[in-house]
Amino acid sequence: MRLRTSLTSPFGRKPRMAALRLGFADLEILNADTTDPADEIRQDNPLGKVPLLILDDGRRVYDSRVILECFDHMAGPGSLIPVAWDDRLRTLTFQSLADGVTDAAVLVSYETRYRSEEIRSQKWLDHQRGKIIRGLSSLTHTAPDPTRFDVATISTACMLGYLDWRKQVDWRADFPALVAWLDAFRAAAPEFDATARDPA
């Protein structure tokens, strides 16, 4: 199998973490540049987005949520997504929340990095930061168990890691409970530090 992604993508980090935990030693990680019109990512995924999983039979699988579902199937149901319905629903909902916050954070990053200050939309930035703040606030009240390793905790950790890097909001000062959550997850899941942009 081959995974086309970027080492800076929070969504690409999710399957990289999962592959380490599940022991997919044969997974080849290939760099993709979504800003390059000549990059094959645009032929493999019409959306031109990462991550993209290329299965041994040639099938192309995207996005990160579907890739994690694929990994769960390969490793055995329940490896990353609970089988029991109530647990499954709760876990997938946490994943959706974390991914939504990450989406908003990526949009903030693009607006501030790729648009000059005079044409940036403060209304747009406030709208996206509102999603981030509401999502983090919700997780402060109810978060997935940080000692578990599943799609909920993977997604939440990758979201916080991305906010640490791009600093769209000062989440560490405003949400100290999530700082403790990430510390607990890192202690339970060495895959998080192993997939950092610049692992030690």
Residue 49: left (phi > 0), alpha (psi -120 to 50), or beta? beta
* Coil/strand/helix, residue 58: coil
- Please compute, for residue 1, the number of CA atoms within 13 A of its CA located in the half-sphere on the CB side: 20
What CATH number belongs to 85-194? Answer: 1.20.1050.10
91 and 81 in contact (C-beta within 8 Å)?
yes
Strand pairing report for 28-31 and 52-54: unpaired
Domain boundaries, the chain: 2-75, 85-194
pTM of the entire structure? 0.96
Which residues in the chain belong to E strands, given as ranges? 2-5, 28-31, 52-54, 60-61
85-194 shares the fold of 2-75? no
Q: How far apart are CA 152 and CA 65, in angstroms?
A: 10
| CB burial of residue 46 (10 Å; 0-12, 13-18, 19+) | exposed
Which pLDDT tens digits describe the chain residue by residue (200 residues)? 999 999 999 999 999 999 999 999 999 999 999 999 999 999 999 999 999 999 999 999 999 999 999 999 999 999 999 999 999 999 999 999 999 999 999 999 999 999 999 999 999 999 999 999 999 999 999 999 999 999 999 999 999 999 999 999 999 999 999 999 999 999 999 999 999 986 54
Superfamily name with CATH number, domain 2-75: Glutaredoxin (3.40.30.10)
